[in-house]
Structure 1
Amino acid sequence: MALAGCQSSQTTQPGDVGTAQAQRSGFLGDYSQLKPAPDRDGVELYIDRSVDYTRYTKLLLDPIQVLATPAPGQPPPAPDAVARMSADFQQSLQRALAPTYQVVTAPGPDVLRVRIAITNLQTVKPPTGASDFLPIKALYNAGRAAAGTSPRLVEMTAEMEALAPDGRRVVAATATRRGDKTLPQGEQITWAELQSISDYWAGNFRSRLDEMRGSGTARASADE
């Protein structure tokens, strides 16, 4: 289970981002349970292994939050840009979950509630006339100069948790992943550069659910 619209040096290949801990936004509140996932770089994971997950085939997806900080002197991100990121990510999840898992609109005794946030975004004002511009400032890895002409890889981070019907957290994760496309420095970021990341995470989310339910316990084989 996985999820800074930021950019980093091309010296690293597309995909998961090393083993560095993702910058924590506060969305999850308590991060003490998280441990590096042995099968996914760039992911910290917690699974309550006392839970029988076979009962859960229904998911209640909270609206996906986009946690952004306006750049100095800039207004907050446009509501329509935030709404699009949230809606597109939710659609990625629904496509990945179907048809085995049912996305529902109300809680119940066999429903897991899922909370997700795209985190650590720093926004900027869109250029005049831009139609698909994602208002995210290009950031760089610590220790790397922001100047230069080498291509960059788009990167995104997120945090998630799943709650049992009684409100108890049973799964939590933070993740950072690079996209598949390099961008010249100075090129504006659009959602197309981040969509592949949300699609990957949605597929990972589905796979993790399958693994957790495969044995009737929280003994997720991929994490042992």
Structure 2
Amino acid sequence: MILFVSGCASTYSTRSVEPSGFLGDYSQMRAGAEEDVQLIYVNPQADFGRYRKIMMDPVSVYVTPDSYLRKVPKEQLSMLVNELDAAIKTQLTPHYEFVHEPQAGAMRLRIAITEAQGANVALDTVSTVVPVGLAISAARRAVFGTHSSIGKAGIEMEILDAETGQRLWAMVDERAGRKITGKFDKFSKWRTTHDASEYWADLVKERLESLQAEHAASTP
């Protein structure tokens, strides 16, 4: 089933993504729907209706040799981690009980930030205001899949049965910022990462709701 998530207007899926290694096994994953996520896996045997608890690992930062993450100061990485952690918990806490150890009916949530490139605020503002700059930025997206100067963010995530370790759901995604978002955030270096975190948090909540609704509908 294709599920589009609200709130994605300020970011878009990049043209391609390279798995970082955080999830280990990518053999089960398939391409996601356009403007959804780039790689996704849903366990067809999973009984999502039985899970009402979440055991969430601390959000990780998984740095590959060619990642922009190597250039991000530690205090800014901590900010990005805390922001994603808060976004996920804000979306899931009203619907699930958070627990700290494996138990029946609990899903284990593992998340890693795999890319974070901040916007070049001065260039971003100039290319948005000046028509020539907009044309150049649009041309760059047509060729490379991303606008110039905007920034991007990447994530890998999986949901496991907390007791057995069986993979229930997983995804890999990378998103870039749009030149014009309709928000007053042109001078925020990390606006793309912030918006991507909100998008992914919404996606997890809505995807779990959808999978549980499908299970309920198929149960006699």
Q: TM over 0.5, yes or no?
A: yes
Which residue is equivalent to 2:196? Answer: 197
Residues 188 and 65 from structure 1, CA distance in 2 versus in 1: closer, same or farther, beyond 3 angstroms? farther
Encode CA deviations 1:21-75: one digit per residue, 9 max, x unaligned: 311111111111111123644421101011111111211111111123588xxx8
Partner SS state of residue 215, structure 1: helix
- Among 9, 12, 15, the alignment partner of 1:16 is 12
Partner amino acid, structure 1, of 2:61: V
Partner SS state of residue 153, structure 1: coil
User: Is 2:203 aligned against 1:208?
Assistant: no
> Which consecutive unaligned segments of at least 5 residues does structure 2 have?
4-8, 119-139
Partner amino acid, structure 2, of 1:17: S
Instruction: Spell out the pairing of 1:14-53 with structure 2 (5 A cutoff).
Output: 14-17=10-13, 20-38=15-33, 40-53=35-48
Which residue is equivalent to 2:158? Answer: 161
Q: Post-superposition, which runs of at least 4 consecutive aligned residues in structure 1 deviate over 6 A?
A: 140-143
Which residue is equivalent to 2:114? Answer: 119
Q: What TM-score does the superposition give when structure 2 sets the normalisation length?
A: 0.69
C-alpha displacement of 1:108? 1.0
- Among 43, 47, 67, the alignment partner of 2:62 is 67
Find the aligned partners of 2:27 and 2:171 in 1 and give their Cα distance. Answer: 11
Residues 31 and 142 from structure 1, CA distance in 2 versus in 1: closer, same or farther, beyond 3 angstroms? farther
> Which consecutive unaligned segments of at least 5 residues does structure 1 have?
2-12, 124-139, 145-149, 220-224
Q: 1 or 2, which has the higher helix percentage?
A: 2
- Between the aligned residues of both structures, percent identity stands at 28
Residues 42 and 97 from structure 1, CA distance in 2 versus in 1: closer, same or farther, beyond 3 angstroms? closer
Larger RCO of the pair (alpha carbons < 8 Å, separation 6+): 1
C-alpha displacement of 1:79? 3.2
